[in-house]
Amino acid sequence: MAWNVFKFCTALRGLGSIMILLVLAVVGVSYYAVVITNYGPALAAGGLDTLQALAVLILFHCLLVMLLWSYFSVVFTDPGSVPSSWRPTMDEERGDSDPLTTSEFQSDSKSRGIRYCRKCNQLKPPRCHHCSVCGRCVLKMDHHCVWVVNCVGALNYKYFLLFLLYTFLETSLVTLSLLPHFIAFFSDGDIPGTPGTLATTFLAFVLNLAFALSVLGFLIMHISMVAANTTTIEAYEKKATPKWRYDLGRKRNFEQVFGTDKRYWFIPSYSEEDLRRMPALQGLEYPSKPDMSPQEF
Would you put residue 149 in left (φ > 0), alpha (ψ -120 to 50) or beta? left
The DSSP symbol for 164 reads H
Find the length of the chain. 297
pTM of the model: 0.83
Q: Residue 62 catalytic?
A: no
Of the residues 128, 131, 137, 145, only one is catalytic, namely 145
pLDDT at 74 (0 to 100): 96
Question: Cβ atoms within 10 A of the Cβ of 75, count?
Answer: 19
Span 236-257, pLDDT tens digits: 766 555 567 888 889 999 999 9
What is the DSSP track for 203-236?
Answer: HHHHHHHHHHHHHHHHHHHHHHHHHHT--HHHHH
Q: Which alpha helices (H) appear in the chain, and where do they start and end?
A: 16-31, 40-42, 48-76, 90-93, 157-185, 195-228, 232-237, 250-258, 272-275, 278-281
Pairing between β-strand 143-145 and β-strand 122-123 as defined by DSSP bridges: unpaired
> Rounded distance, CA 100 to CA 115, Å?
8
pLDDT at 134 (0 to 100): 84
| Residues 265-269, mean pLDDT to the nearest whole number | 96
pLDDT at 45 (0 to 100): 78
Q: Name the nearest CA neighbour of 70 among 156, 175, 174.
A: 156
Sign of torsion, CA 236 242 245 248?
Answer: positive
Pick 61 or 236 by higher pLDDT: 61
The three-state secondary structure class of 258 is helix
Span 139-166, pLDDT tens digits: 999 999 989 989 999 999 999 999 999 9
Span 68-106, pLDDT tens digits: 999 999 999 999 888 877 777 644 434 444 433 333 333
